[in-house]
Structure 1
């Protein structure tokens, strides 16, 4: 547990020093919030922004970091120490959750304090949706890292998957404004379940099914990553 905590703190510091991570996980959602100032139902945008923050970390940042560790044989060297390589991967998940929570608190705080958005109707459901969303995107991020032969390819794969997903799922823009065909495609995306569940926690609408779907995707993604992942 001590090793996991220390590695998690180290990973958090690395993420916090990365300008790209800070921009996309904190500044970018804030910019979108400001751009939508004056629109009706601005409170409905916040759950999507929280999902987007987590997706940026899990689908874009995490695959490149993990693939870089593998490429530089960091994971293989850890196998010769008392710290198991899987501990570093778990620390990466913990770091993504913490950074996602920081970004979410900042964006939600701006919405509540700056625009008078009401507080969540079901905080427990919102918290469960947040953790499941973080776990889901990290599991998918590990699959991307497992399939990519090199770190740069992992980063590219992550971006190619992340950007369509955040725009078609309703995370960046409401799905109601999308053309019918794109809206139909978005309905099958994992991140759409996260947006729906987070919105349920915020508005009080039922969120049981999307929570179960996210849990299933997390389990399936973790199993796939465990089978496919190469330590070097």
Structure 2
């Protein structure tokens, strides 16, 4: 991989997104609005204080997955990737460039969502807000990496949506949002231990409640980062130049 080519790809993607106000709104505003909607639904109850950290993991993850996968797939279907890869640009440069571009957007998205949840919606955080932000960013980048991986296999936007039940919904159901993972049946608990969103939710809840030390949260972050790296590598290996 060539750092200059990777950064050039990153700059191209950011320039395209900068000229698309709807995508910017979807990335930066919609997750916060959804967090606010959940807080409003459970106003005057302790529920939002319990599920709020998990919600911070859920909505940015889903939005980044959809935006990244559809954007990458669209460039492949229109032949843009084929033209780019005909130049001295490797698949690794391309995928890493996408990851960096959407990773930077994930930082902004997570900062807006965390700030809105804490200072507007009143989500109480016993631990470090900065550590909470770091986990939220890692979670959003995870959605980006899995979206890139899904786009490598999908042939249409409809197929991208079909990946949601396979890659996203099981993580939501088993991540501890609806029922603490400790109360899941043993088999489902074992499966949830292998799902990255579970570790993001666990880390966010631990920081919010200040129930674990920094070493525990750091270990959860390492697991998330390992999934991100694995998804990026697998996505670069399996990426096709153009969808037939």
Q: What is the TM-score of this pair, normalised by structure 1?
A: 0.77
From 26, 34, 37, the equivalent of 1:31 is 37
Retained in 2: the 8 A contact 1:57–1:96?
no
Whole-angstrom distance in 2 between the partners of 1:115 and 1:28: 11
Query: In the aligned structure 2, how far is the partner of 1:54 from the partner of 1:224?
Result: 22
User: Which moved further from structure 2: 84-93 or 106-115?
Assistant: 84-93
Q: Are residue 207 (structure 1) and residue 211 (structure 2) matched?
A: no
Structure 2 counterpart of 1:63: 69
Distance in structure 2 (CA, Å) of the matches to 1:26 and 1:114: 10
Instruction: Name the counterpart of 1:48.
Output: 54
* Cα distance in structure 1, aligned partners of 2:123 and 2:35: 16
Q: 1:147 aligns with which of 132, 146, 153?
A: 153
Q: What residue number does 1:220 align with? A: 230
The answer as to whether partners of 2:70 and 2:157 remain within 8 angstroms in 1 is yes
Q: How many residues align?
A: 230
For the pair 1:180 / 2:194, whether they are aligned, the reply is no
- Tell whether the 8 Å contact from 1:25 to 1:100 is kept in structure 2 after alignment: no
When the two structures are superposed, what TM-score results if normalisation uses the length of structure 2?
A: 0.74
Deviations 1:67-109 (A, max 9, x none): 1111111111223568777666445434534554444444433
Question: Aligned-pair RMSD on alpha carbons?
Answer: 3.4
Structure 1, unaligned stretches of length 5 or more?
A: none
Would the alpha carbon gap of residues 24 and 118 (structure 1) be closer, same or farther in structure 2, given more than 3 Å must change? closer
Does structure 2 conserve the Cα–Cα contact (< 8 Å) formed by 1:126 and 1:200? Answer: no
Q: 1:126 aligns with which of 132, 150, 155?
A: 132
Aligned equivalents of 1:6, 1:187: Cα separation in 2: 37
- Note if contact 1:169-1:186 (Cα within 8 Å) is conserved in structure 2: yes
- Note closer, same or farther for the CA distance 1:91–1:31 as it changes in structure 2 (3 Å cut): farther
Deviations 1:189-221 (A, max 9, x none): 210111112233333323132112112212222
Cα deviation for residue 21 of structure 1 reads 5.8
2:61·2:140 contact (CA, 8 Å) conserved in 1?
Answer: yes
1:98–1:141 CA distance, 2 compared to 1 (3 A): same
User: What is the rounded CA distance, in whole Å, between the counterparts of 1:33 and 1:97 in structure 2?
Assistant: 26
After superposing the two structures, state which structure 1 stretch, 92-101 or 144-153, moved more: 92-101
